[in-house]
Chain A
């Protein structure tokens, strides 16, 4: 079974731009969570989607948003990019909300 896939793997943007990251969960998995990983803050929870509905949200500004489609694929969007948004963005999927989360390889976002 294929793992979690994330596209693109690398992205370079400039301040003020917006970006959309994509995540395809493991086949059959219905829950998708997003995390931001930085050297200073570690792994921080962004949000979780299940059945196309946001179920949980972390402590991030409204510039960070996401959605989930009927096939469980998910996208996250960051608007008005700031230098501090440079990070590895990780997507994790699980069969159901209470099941083990499996991570994708991440999207490395660099904001210049």
Chain B
């Protein structure tokens, strides 16, 4: 299953609401997750099973979607949110990641 994220680069300001889209070549079922990665660090799980917030992740992060189209929405950007975001699926082997969306400060 191939995952395509859009946009690849997103410029926004603190307080903005942003949405990142992940489109799959085939439906990944409920096995769709989102990660945040900051430079020099390993990725961090934000959301799994399309919409379930990982423990400790702020509620301004929301995942949704079905079929082959999924979204990650950040409701009110905070300075700590400027990072790169990846979607990921593992319905069956092999797994796959989207190419990433870099969110930077406008």
A associates with B: no
Chain A interface residues (CB < 8 Å from chain B): none
